[in-house]
Amino acid sequence: MPVCQIVHLNGSFLPLAEARISPLDRGFLFAHAAYEVTAVYGGRFIDMPGHLTRLSRTLAGIALPDPLSPSGWEALHKELIVRNDLNEGIVYLEVTGGAYDVRDFAGPETFVPTVFAYADSRKLIGAEARDGIKVVFLDDTRWKRRDMKTVQLLSQGLAYRTAKARGADTAFMVEDGFVTEAASSNAWIVTPSGEIITRHLSPAILPGITRAGVMALRGKGGFAVTERAFTPDEAVNAAEVFTTSSGAMVAPVTHIEGRPVGDGKPGPVTRQIQRLYYEAMGADLAAVAPWAMERA
């Protein structure tokens, strides 16, 4: 499905076909840009404050002034979903270093950002969440500041292409013998003894907002999470594996490198976390995710 037709560009809402950005924009020339992808469910944003906090951290980290206040960002997001009548999907926001009259690596002393945002209608609780996804392992060839959400996404784009060519949906990225994260989500395993593990936060991975959302459910769900790096072998031999992201929420991984994880079906811990997460989103489980009640 194409993205929704009314987009935001530099303070205006306009049809996508009329949105124009200079080819000298630093986002285009240098990948000098921050982005956020915020989930929308039932016409409401999921953890907007978390996304806005991460956005301002990324902007500070890449020398860009924050062009709006948190309430300004929130109003922009809201207006976009109202104008497009979006009930379920995502809002994509990108803030670049702006366009100038020369291609200059360092750029001006103070940047004047380009702000672009669009909405995209899609199912957040869909087939991937129900049936699971397949992953392969690939070298993590990204830059070293993956904690900042920038559009330097070439490694991930190529990883997706390789994964698809190998019959998988995405890749787990591996560095120095450990899984960092998936190409566009955080990676989790459940050991055969039931321990839930996800990599600790550091510049090696993106601090996922969905990851934080799952962490916040520990008390209610009565589960603990160990935050440490795990190896590809641990993932292959895990009882369950899943990913978290704003695009697919909690997605079970059923196959790694063509081999089933556990019995090759989404496992009970993953289903429990899905149930808790969907309830927190305000979803009617029986209506939209009856399969999440399995293995309860």
Active site residues: 149
Q: Scanning the structure block, which residue is given the tokens 């830059």?
A: 143
Residues near 82 by Cβ (< 8 Å), separated by ≥ 6?
Answer: none
Residues near 27 by Cβ (< 8 Å), separated by ≥ 6?
Answer: 21, 33, 94, 96, 97, 114, 151
- What one-character-per-residue DSSP string does 66-120 give? --S-HHHHHHHHHHHHHHTT-SSEEEEEEEE--B-SS--SS--SS---EEEEEEE
How far apart CA 152 and CA 141 sit, in angstroms, is: 11
Of the candidate residues 208, 252, 262, 266, the single one contacting ligand PDD (CB under 6 A):
208
Q: Could you tell me the smallest distance in angstroms from the CB atom of residue 181 to ligand PDD?
A: 5
Q: Could you tell me the smallest distance in angstroms from the CB atom of residue 109 to ligand PDD?
A: 30
Q: Could you tell me the smallest distance in angstroms from the CB atom of residue 108 to ligand PDD?
A: 28
* C-alpha torsion angle, residues 76, 77, 80, 81 (rounded to 10): -150
Are the beta carbons of 254 and 282 closer than 8 angstroms? no
Of the candidate residues 26, 181, 250, 252, the single one contacting ligand PDD (CB under 6 A):
181
The piece of 63-71, 162-170, 204-212, 256-264 that touches ligand PDD (CB under 6 A) is 204-212
Token pair of 26 as six digits? 């630093």
| 191 C-beta neighbours (distance < 10 Å), count | 15
If the CB atoms of residues 97 and 247 are measured against ligand PDD, the closer one turns out to be 247
Q: Is 84 in the site for ligand PDD (CB under 6 A)?
A: no
- Three-state SS at 243: strand
The piece of 74-82, 122-130, 182-190, 276-284 that touches ligand PDD (CB under 6 A) is 182-190
How far apart CA 143 and CA 155 sit, in angstroms, is: 9
Q: Could you tell me the smallest distance in angstroms from the CB atom of residue 94 to ligand PDD?
A: 11
Are the beta carbons of 119 and 81 closer than 8 angstroms? yes
Q: Is 58 in the site for ligand PDD (CB under 6 A)?
A: no
Of the candidate residues 89, 97, 98, 247, the single one contacting ligand PDD (CB under 6 A):
247
Terminal alpha carbon distance of the chain:
34
The piece of 24-32, 124-132, 209-217, 287-295 that touches ligand PDD (CB under 6 A) is 209-217
Of the candidate residues 58, 155, 185, 272, the single one contacting ligand PDD (CB under 6 A):
185
If the CB atoms of residues 163 and 206 are measured against ligand PDD, the closer one turns out to be 206
The piece of 129-137, 189-197, 222-230, 242-250 that touches ligand PDD (CB under 6 A) is 242-250
Site for ligand PDD in 142-171 (CB under 6 A): none
If the CB atoms of residues 108 and 157 are measured against ligand PDD, the closer one turns out to be 157
Q: Could you tell me the smallest distance in angstroms from the CB atom of residue 111 to ligand PDD?
A: 22
**CA dist list (Å): 108 to 24, 59, 66:** 13, 16, 16
How far apart CA 80 and CA 100 sit, in angstroms, is: 27
Q: Is 246 in the site for ligand PDD (CB under 6 A)?
A: yes
The piece of 55-63, 122-130, 179-187, 287-295 that touches ligand PDD (CB under 6 A) is 179-187
> Contact residues for ligand PDD (CB under 6 A)?
37, 181, 184-186, 206, 208-211, 244-247
